[in-house]
């Protein structure tokens, strides 16, 4: 395994092994809602789990691919921070657990979309609209070690990754019948690329060679 991947997985594992305010491991919770953030602190994906926080998030970020990764909706390279809202639902019956989980996911979704400068995340399928719920305390951690953070955060590196992701997603869309949600994800990815490229351009002051009249 490449050393940078091993280092990132070590950080992810350390986060899952850290304790919540009740002394339980974050990754040990069965139910929860999670959000991924990029290197600019921009929320990019929201999900829920009833099969275990550690298991579900690890499938996104390691070699156990999920639909979101396989369809080029989510590029794990873009994930710099994980945020988790653990839920204790064992006192509820199965239907109540799923209802509360859906309400919690929708609440987190509304929260992160409001935080987003683009007003959008990359989810192909949006959470089912429902009434909001009071969220528990969340826990978060940056998962990129300091030794590789500057390279991964560099805008040119991220621009190249986003362009590649867009090309792969566009190819998927061109080859099969897909949902409107996937096309919306393509648009959001394109807006993210445009924003980053525009911000990068500001790093280069205008000089005489940029004069279109020459």
Least-confidence region, from 17-26, 131-140, 175-184: 175-184
Token code pair at residue 190: 């394109």
Model confidence at 211: pLDDT above 70: no
The residue whose two tokens read 């945020």 is 83
| Residues in contact with 20: Cβ distance below 8 Å, sequence separation at least 6, in sequence order | 26, 29, 86, 137, 139
Q: State the pLDDT at residue 63.
A: 58
Q: State the pLDDT at residue 2.
A: 85
Superfamily of 3-147 according to CATH = GIY-YIG endonuclease (3.40.1440.10)
> What's the average model confidence in pLDDT over 180-186?
94
- Check: CB of residue 103 under 8 Å from CB of residue 81: no
Q: Say if pTM beats, i.e. exceeds, 0.85.
A: yes
> What's the average model confidence in pLDDT over 128-141?
97
Q: What is the DSSP string of 142-173?
A: E-S-TTTHHHHH-HHHHHHHHHHHHHHHHHHH
Write out pLDDT tens, residues 65-110. Answer: 667 777 788 899 999 999 999 999 999 999 999 999 999 999 999 9
> What's the average model confidence in pLDDT over 157-174?
95
> If you ran DSSP here, which 8-state letter would residue 128 be given?
P
């Amino acid at each position: 395994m490449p050393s940078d991947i091993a280092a990132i997985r070590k950080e992810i594992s350390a986060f899952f092994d850290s304790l919540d305010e009740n002394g339980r491991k974050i990754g040990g919770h069965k139910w929860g809602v999670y959000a991924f953030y990029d290197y600019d602190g921009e929320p990019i994906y929201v999900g829920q789990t009833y099969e275990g926080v550690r298991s579900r998030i690890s499938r996104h970020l390691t070699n156990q691919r999920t639909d979101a990764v396989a369809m080029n909706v989510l590029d794990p390279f873009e994930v710099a921070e994980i945020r988790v809202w653990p839920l204790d639902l064992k006192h509820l019956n199965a239907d109540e657990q799923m209802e509360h989980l859906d309400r919690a996911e929708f609440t987190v979704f509304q929260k992160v979309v409001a935080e987003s400068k683009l007003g959008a995340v990359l989810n192909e399928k949006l959470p089912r609209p429902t009434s909001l719920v009071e969220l528990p305390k969340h826990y978060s951690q940056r998962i990129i070690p300091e030794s590789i953070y500057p390279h991964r955060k560099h805008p040119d590196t991220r621009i190249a990754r986003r362009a590649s992701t867009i090309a792969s997603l566009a190819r998927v869309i061109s080859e099969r019948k897909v949902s409107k949600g996937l096309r919306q994800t393509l648009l959001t990815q394109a807006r993210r690329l445009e924003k980053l490229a525009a911000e990068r351009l500001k790093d280069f002051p205008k000089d005489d060679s940029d004069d279109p009249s020459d």
